[in-house]
Amino acid sequence: DAVVLAVAHAQYRDYDVERIAALGKPGAVVYDVKSVWPRAAVSDRL
């Protein structure tokens, strides 16, 4: 399971990475395409 942040809309920038990760199943990876969060906060960037 993965959560992909592919847009940098203000609505999503206001979320913390834990809130975004909670959209997936436990243990889901979080990909940040738009570099919204620090690299250390997400699984990877595409």
Domain that holds residue 31: 2-41
Confidence bin at 36 (pLDDT 50/70/90) = confident
Q: Are 19 and 28 in contact (CB under 8 A)?
A: no
**pLDDT for the residue numbered 6:** 92
Determine, yes or no, domain membership for 10.
Answer: yes
Given this model, what pLDDT does residue 33 score? 92
Q: Could you give the number of structural domains in the chain?
A: 1
**One-letter amino acid for residue 36 of the chain:** V
Evaluate whether residue 28 is within a structural domain.
yes
Do residues 32 and 5 touch, judged by C-beta distance below 8 A? yes
pLDDT level of residue 37 (50, 70, 90 thresholds):
confident
The answer to whether 45 and 32 have CB atoms below 8 angstroms apart is yes
Q: What is the per-residue pLDDT for 24? A: 94
User: Does any domain span residue 46?
Assistant: no
- pTM value is 0.75
Residue 29 included in any domain? yes
The answer, yes or no, to whether residue 26 has pLDDT greater than 90, is yes
Burial class of residue 15 (count of CB atoms within 10 Å of its CB; 0-12, 13-18, 19+): middle
